[in-house]
Structure 1
Amino acid sequence: MKRILIIFTGGTIGSKAEGVAINVDQAGSYALLDAYRGLPSYRHDVELDTLQPLNLLSENITPDDWSALAAAIRGVDWTRYEGIIVTHGSDTLAYTAAMMGYLFADAAIPLVLTASNYPIADARSNGLRNLSSSIDFIAGAGLPGVFVVYENDRGESMVYLSTRVFQNESFTDQFRSPYELEYGRMTAQRTFQWTEDVRNPSPDSLQARPSSIHSQIATALRLTDEIVYIRPYPGLHYELYDFSTAKPRAILHDLHHSGTANALETGPYSLAAFVERCRREGIDCYLCPIKDASDALYASSHRLIEAGGRFIENMSMEAALTKLMLAYGMIGDDAVRDRFIRKENVYYEKL
């Protein structure tokens, strides 16, 4: 008999609809298991244990909640289980998945995050199928590491490496990954099929990946919320960012698809001028995503480097943001921290 631990955190998959309102309900999470046991896909060869350290809608999650979730996971006797499933809200699952990928890159068993697009009582919900596929993935593949399992709009159960997931899309409720490269999928026979690609580590090569920071994490996890994320658009007025009362440790600035943003020499719309101002005020400015900063760049990109911008290559914005929150919380030395952020591949976040 295989044993799997399911950790409930709330979210739509653990919610109930009351009229037009959807709210987390303590009973909703356990109703998920009752409903799973009634499915034709219910596995009689698996024993399910449960734990609920959080009960919230995922849009309300904070770094303190991540710390609480990580502590709950670390407090589990992993030797008792073939795998762990974390049920989570879809709104912020990509961020939590990336953070758990960093914190549990040393996982020797599968840690799987999954969610639902609607409460499970709704006929449109994929929550039960996502849970079922997560259990099948653990029971069948048993790969070490941190993953996301979620059904796409074609009814296919996709498997993602946890640091390679974009935020759920607003209009389609779909998760995507960089280069549209999922790690694999669950077949109609309920077995895992790897997506063969040079950027995907093979299942045989997956192993616990303890990084330079994991000994510190085990002792005392510290995450910071002193990171500001900015997306570029025509007319973005940087002088509206006033750091006189509260100053971030770092800025994470999104880029257009070509690795650019407004690089006018001066003026309120100039990212280069904003980066220079941040540097004068002791605020680091990271720029992401970009495929390869050593490749031929637009002159505007070179201007950003000259101003002090630090490019993060081949990493999703979700993975970069959570990595900054971890790095600035745990690492004091700027050179060591910058190397960790931009060079160290903690859990396959660099494609």
Structure 2
Amino acid sequence: MKILAIFTGGTISCSEKNGVLSPDGSNSFLLLKSRPDAEYETAVPYTVLSENTGLTELEKLFGTVYENLLGDYDGIIVAHGTDTLQFTAAFLAQKLGLCRTPVVMVSANYPLSDSRSNGFENFGAAVDFIASKQGRGVFVSYKNSGAEFAEIHRGGELLAHASYSDALSSLDGNVYGRVANGVFIPNKNYIERCNEAGNKNSLSGRVMWLRAHPGMIYPPLTGEVKAVLLEGYHSGTLNTDGNELRAFCASARKSDIPLYLTGCEEGFNYESKSMFESLNIIVLPKMPPVTAYIKLWLK
């Protein structure tokens, strides 16, 4: 089995010096030594802490992955930081679709030198999943703290982290499967929502993302903004009774900036929702907000 391992930095590559964690490229190669049962080639398009990931890094990573999809690899593993893992996974999932070569992202909640780290387990589960030959497209291999096994998530199904937590979860618990004792076990109830073909558009990055909260202050809209993503409360609602949202929507309409709402599913037809059409708010289909954000980047 031949695997391309792509190292991008993040906690999974970090070393501590004087109490500060910084990427150390040599640490990533410890992952390969932990699973000598595969043959590896490596690539390093960049090395950053994942919170410093921007459009440039995403395009570099996509280029590295894309140019190797037709190689003789059984799979590609991308070692990445945990902070922005969902964003990069959603981006690759949108760009690559159901590519024949599985691309599996891994990260670590602590540096590999820390006994609490799940990095080796996440990497090992990725290798086992690739060996199973039971998946096409982009995935994330991750074992939550306290969990018995690592789960395999679709790249476009991940929800953002809860505050103060490194745990990963898929929308509606729609995980692709799990790896137990070196064996991939598919989720029999998994619902496939990934598009076959990838998105050919380039990143723009000019999307404003606003999350609903009481007393919300809406920022002014400038010519740099091409779209606005509104994330509603858990039932998909927004405060449509106050003047703030109405003024913001009027400003967006005047500037020809589309407004999209994520987090709003069918049912729970509160009267506040009846205002969305008149405010020119476009309600998106059900998907993780992170995926909605990336889709608008590529729109």
Structure 1 position 243 matched with structure 2 position 243: no
Matches within 5 A, 1:14-29: 14-29=13-28
Matched, 1:201 2:201: no
- Rate the CA distance shift 1:155–1:20 in 2: closer, same or farther, 3 A: farther
Q: Which of 285, 303, 307 is residue 275 of structure 2 equivalent to?
A: 303
Q: How many Å separate the matches in 1 of 2:268 and 2:30? A: 54
Question: TM-score of the superposition, structure 2-length normalised?
Answer: 0.94
Selected match of 1:50 from 42, 50, 55: 42
Please give the residue correspondences for 1:84-233 in structure 2 after superposition, counting only pairs within 5 Å.
Answer: 84-153=76-145, 154-188=147-181, 190-197=182-189, 200-201=191-192, 209-211=196-198, 213=199, 217=200, 222-233=202-213
Q: Cα offset for 1:276?
A: 2.5
Counterpart of 1:201 in structure 2: which amino acid?
Answer: E
In the superposition, the TM-score normalised over structure 1's length comes to 0.80
- Which residue in the other structure is 2:284 paired with? 312
Once the 2 structures are TM-superposed, how far is the Cα of residue 43 of structure 1 from its aligned partner?
A: 4.8
Cα–Cα, structure 1 residues 176 and 303, in superposed 2: closer, same or farther, change >3 Å?
Answer: same
Cα distance change on mapping 1:287 and 1:201 into 2, 3 Å: closer
How far apart, CA to CA, are the structure 2 residues paired with 1:282 and 1:242? 14
Q: Output the amino acid matched with 1:72.
A: T
**How far apart in 2 are the matches of 1:178 and 1:77?**
27
**1:66 corresponds to:** 58
1:188-239 deviations in Å (ceiling 9; x for gaps): 2x11111222x5239xxx9x8125x4xxx3xxx521111000011110022x
CA contact (8 A) 2:235 2:263 kept: no
Q: CA deviation at 1:318?
A: 0.4
2:260 and 2:232 mapped to 1: Cα distance? 10
Task: Please state whether the residue corresponding to 2:208 is helix, strand or coil.
Answer: strand
Q: Counterpart of 2:30? A: 31
Q: Distance in 2 between matches of 1:165 and 1:180?
A: 9
Report the Cα distance in structure 2 between the residues aligned to 1:75 and 1:178, rounded to whole angstroms: 30
Q: Tell me the residue number matched to 1:267.
A: 243
* Equivalent position of 2:294 in the other structure: 322
Aligned-pair distance for 1:161?
0.6
Q: Please list, as runs of the form range in 1=range in 2, the aligned pairs for 1:283-298 lying within 5 A after superposition.
A: 283-292=257-266, 295=267, 297-298=269-270
List runs of 5+ in structure 1 lacking aligned partners: 37-41, 328-351
Structure-2 change in CA distance of 1:54 and 1:142 (3 Å): farther
Q: Distance in 2 between matches of 1:313 and 1:285?
A: 14
Unaligned 5+ runs, structure 2:
none
Q: What is the deviation of 1:148? A: 0.6
- CA shift, 1:33, in A, is 2.5
8 A Cα contact 1:165 1:177, kept in partner: yes
Q: Judging changes above 3 Å, is the alpha-carbon distance between structure 1 residues 62 and 115 closer, same or farther for their aligned structure 2 residues?
A: same
Find the aligned partners of 2:78 and 2:95 in 1 and give their Cα distance. Answer: 14
C-alpha RMSD of matched pairs (Å): 1.9
Mean CA deviation greater in 316-325 or 15-24: 15-24
Give how far 1:263 is off: 0.3
Q: 1:296 to 1:120 in 2, by over 3 A?
A: closer
Change in Cα spacing, 1:10 to 1:77, as seen in structure 2 (3 Å) is same
Cα distance in 1 between the residues matched to 2:117 and 2:271: 48
User: Aligned partners of 2:239 and 2:55: how far apart in 1?
Assistant: 31
Amino acid of the structure 1 residue aligned with 2:30: A
2:221 touches 2:252 (CA, 8 Å); kept in 1?
no
- The corresponding residue for 1:8 is 7
Q: 2:87 touches 2:294 (CA, 8 Å); kept in 1?
A: yes
Among all aligned residue pairs of Structure 1 and Structure 2, give the percentage whose two residues are the same amino acid: 30
2:135 & 2:51 partners in 1: Cα distance?
Answer: 29
Higher helix share: 1
**Greater displacement, 155-164 / 274-283:** 274-283
The answer to whether the Cα contact below 8 Å between 2:4 and 2:76 also exists between their aligned partners in 1 is yes
Give the letter for the 2:262 counterpart. C
Match of 1:254 in 2: 231
* Distance in 2 of aligned mates of 1:122 and 1:18: 14
